[in-house]
Amino acid sequence: MNRRKRPEGKIIIYDTTLRDGTQAEDISFSVEDKVRIALRLDELGVNYIEGGWPGSNPKDMAFFREIRNYSLKTATIAAFGSTLKARTAPEADVNIKALLGAKTRAVTIFGKSWDVHVRDALRISLEQNVTLIRDSLKYLMTAAPEVYYDAEHFFDGFKGNPEYALATLKAAEEAGVAAIVLCDTNGGTLPSEINEIIRAVQEKITLPLGIHVHNDADMAVANTIAAVQLGVGHIQGTINGYGERCGNANLCSIIPNLKYKLKIDCLSEAQMAKLREISHFVAELANLQPNKHQPYVGSSAFAHKGGVHVSAIEKNPQTYEHIPPENVGNHRRVLVSDLAGKSNILQKAAEYHINLNRKDPLTHEILTTLKEMENQGYQFEGAEASFELLMKKAMGAQKKYFELIGFRILSEKLREERAPITEATIMIKVGGRVEHTAATGNGPVNALDNAIRKALEKFYPQLDDMKLVDYKVRVLSTGKGTGSKVRVLVESGDNKDKWGTVGVSENIIEASWQALVDSLNYKLLKDEKPKN
């Protein structure tokens, strides 16, 4: 068998989220976060989890100690580090000792493949660098069960000095590592170059090859797939493509491409169905909003907006979907906007268990109302709760839970160095009873939100577990300064769901009030719905 090629259909998925992913701007995982992510990656079915660099910080070393308390089903934990320092014996090198001190089954180290880095960064001779690679790996091979070598900057190194770049790989081959991983560390290589260079490497190197690609030219996934098509079987990447600068190769795209495009059985169907869940789980622990436009796992990946599209997927989802969304744990969404047709309305009605058909005059009425409201500045793509209420109102099925008699908001700033004080007073009527109350808040919208909740919770105690999750304001008209029309999007949630509502007005308080009222009404409506 040609050892340069992977066995047919076999792929090793090596996740670097806990190391490379943490190098992304705005991402910092605690030890507890890293353990939770590792357990989810193990459930997903990845083969290796690179836990960090134990020689670089105490937190990574703490992770390696803690993860030993768990029994992983599919994944092997790997520690990451660099080759030994020049003029240092392997057994005395601090980094090498820390790597072995992590007590992981797998160890990965990187070395320099680009002569520019050897001269300008390490400032040693090219021959010394080759010796460092060989000596580091040979020593680790005697002390660790599995050793992998990351050839850093290999593609740039090969383009600049192919003979030397290959000489560094030969040093790793002499040590007999489990795989040599070719790295596009600067992320600027194109797929055509990946193909050409990997073929050249396969002519000279007999050990299994891996691929590790950054995304600075937006080619990381394409370059990884190109490598796989040439027989490379060790695949490195991160969840959501998190990583330094523009990120790393995104496993949330690579894995389904392998499974459904190349027909490589890398994960089971049950594991594939967890892909969206782990994507959002890692984003949540990173305290980042999930990328809604991310292929496969994003909320918009299977969202349909145009009326022609929606009409077609009603007949056959394959007309506008390249795979069934359920394969990766996602789901089909039909959006409502001024591009909608009757098919959009009927799809949403079915979701809300509203009985409508194409010939029903109400369907046309709702569609007309929708287009008029979107023309005024409303947007229902992120405010589907408001759209459900709109549909129920058109059908005369929307219950009026309360009636506003009036509200007043006062803000005052008593001293320059003090924050303003805001108070909202509100009067409402519920079932013939009038409630008059007041509340303070961090600004007028927060004060109004607090006041309306305070007034309503006596009648509807279930509002106690509802909270405002997010609040966004967008100026719609230009050239009118502070008199411009604005759109307010509110996201609310309770211990079960999240939902979005919208309001539009030249007055930001009025727009906010519309969105808040829809949010409260939707909460009360959904709590009345029969449980399936």
User: In 3D, which of 50, 54, 57 has the Cα closest to residue 18?
Assistant: 50
DSSP string, 65-77: HHHTTS--SS-EE
For residues 331 and 376, what is the distance between their CA atoms, to the nearest angstrom? 30
On whether the CB atoms of residues 131 and 149 are closer than 8 A, the answer is: no
For residue 453, the SS3 value is: helix
Residue span(s) of the chain under CATH 3.30.160.270 come to 403-528
Q: Where does CATH 3.20.20.70 sit in the chain?
A: 12-267
Ranges of residues in the chain whose predicted pLDDT is under 50: 1-7, 532
pLDDT at 2: 35
pLDDT score at 45: 97
Residue 108 is which amino acid?
T
Alpha carbon distance, N-terminus to C-terminus of the chain: 56
Q: d(Cα 205, Cα 219) in Å, to the nearest integer?
A: 25
**Predicted local distance difference test score (pLDDT) of residue 135:** 95
Contact 255, 239 (CB under 8 A): no
d(CA 198, CA 399): 66
Q: What is the pLDDT of residue 362?
A: 86
Q: Strands 433-441 and 421-430, how do they pair?
A: antiparallel
Residues 532 and 504 sit within 8 Å (Cβ to Cβ): no
- According to CATH, what is the number of the domain 403-528? 3.30.160.270
* Residue 414 in tokens: 């008593």
Helix axes 162-175, 126-143, angle to 10 degrees: 20
Specify the CATH number for 12-267; select among 1.10.287.610, 3.10.20.30, 3.40.50.2300, 3.20.20.70.
3.20.20.70
User: For residues 221 and 149, what is the distance between their CA atoms, to the nearest angstrom?
Assistant: 21
